[in-house]
Homo-oligomer: A and B are copies of this chain.
């Protein structure tokens, strides 16, 4: 009996061993197939090895492995207008329908005119008015249902695809690669937290509780049947841009990230804060220099920057000085989108 048990154990262990080496072999296939070999890919792989190899002096314990990603322009297309703003502009007719007096008030009048040039010239203050009118005043559940319905039907005018397909394949590979190495991946976006949470799990594999974004307050109350309701209020709790990014990370996560990824001046402080931690830290910025496959904007590119975030020469210079790694969309990415063959 004892011999039988020992034989079983031996075979079991042998089996477990071969299973384990099978896993290892799988892990050794390229986890980042859409990245060209080059300094960006190399920096990622070296960082992951340095922080996850127990023998490394820069080993980071699993609970500390936090990676934060800006969304617009970093994980998906932000040009020429970032997606949530398209949603808000599309919602204006419904808002005016509910409050007809708004039809004669700016900026709603301009949006209803459909004049693209005039809409493109709206000021930040005008845009904030549109955001407040279209993103607040309803219950959290109603907002989620509305946004989901829009995302299911709206199409990007250039690629004629749902916005949720305009994610960068190399970045979704990177998210999975980091998660496969014990990192928890967070979105830290200047966009609306509630908006991104509607699709983050499905699109990025990032659950709502790992989405940090600009957030308005909610008000707890009861509906006519006495059931609790959270209503979205036009009160900004967290402006998750610039200094608001590390502040939001502290509020929502409470730990300094080991890795952070952005593409604009709105990400500068998050990258600084991340890189200033002890041990190995990775800070990377996506440079949009691919006019053919996506867009070219930022330093020495043809197009102007978008309104929400700008990639300036000063940011490029700080990247060089601080040891952030620039990701050239044109040179570092073999493929840009998953839908391309």
Contact of A220 among B9, B15, B209, B243 (CB under 8 A): B243
A201-215 Cβ-contact flags toward B at 8 Å (1 or 0)? 100000111010001
Distance, CA A110 to CA B253, complexed state (A): 37
* Residues in B neighbouring A14, C-beta threshold 8 A: 8
| A276 and B230 within 8 A (CB) | no
* Residues in B neighbouring A255, C-beta threshold 8 A: 208-209
Could you say how many copies of this chain the assembly holds?
Answer: 2
Distance, CA A85 to CA B11, complexed state (A): 59
For A274, give the chain B residue with the smallest CB separation. B228
| A252 and B250 within 8 A (CB) | no
List CB contacts (< 8 Å) of A243-278 with chain B: 243, 246-247, 250-255, 269, 272-273, 276
Query: Count of chain A residues with Cβ under 8 Å from any Cβ of B?
Result: 42
A287-331 Cβ-contact flags toward B at 8 Å (1 or 0)? 000000000000000000000000000000000000000000000
* Residues in B neighbouring A11, C-beta threshold 8 A: 7-8, 11-12, 15
| A247 and B273 within 8 A (CB) | no
| A269 and B63 within 8 A (CB) | no
Instruction: Given A8-B15, A255-B209, check contact A276 B227 (CB 8 Å).
Output: yes
| A140 and B250 within 8 A (CB) | yes
* Residues in B neighbouring A218, C-beta threshold 8 A: 247, 250-251
The reply to whether the CB of A197 lies closer than 8 angstroms to some CB of chain B is yes
Q: Nearest Cβ distance between residue A5 and chain B, in whole angstroms? A: 10
Distance, CA A272 to CA B7, complexed state (A): 57
Q: Nearest Cβ distance between residue A115 and chain B, in whole angstroms? A: 36
Distance, CA A219 to CA B250, complexed state (A): 10
Q: Nearest Cβ distance between residue A113 and chain B, in whole angstroms? A: 36
The reply to whether the CB of A217 lies closer than 8 angstroms to some CB of chain B is yes
Distance, CA A9 to CA B12, complexed state (A): 9
| B220 and A254 within 8 A (CB) | no
* Residues in B neighbouring A237, C-beta threshold 8 A: 237-238, 251
* Residues in B neighbouring A251, C-beta threshold 8 A: 193, 215, 218, 237
Q: Nearest Cβ distance between residue A210 and chain B, in whole angstroms? A: 8
Q: What are 11 A-B contacts with C-beta separation under 8 Å?
A: A8-B14, A11-B11, A12-B12, A140-B250, A197-B254, A211-B254, A215-B251, A218-B250, A219-B247, A220-B246, A228-B269
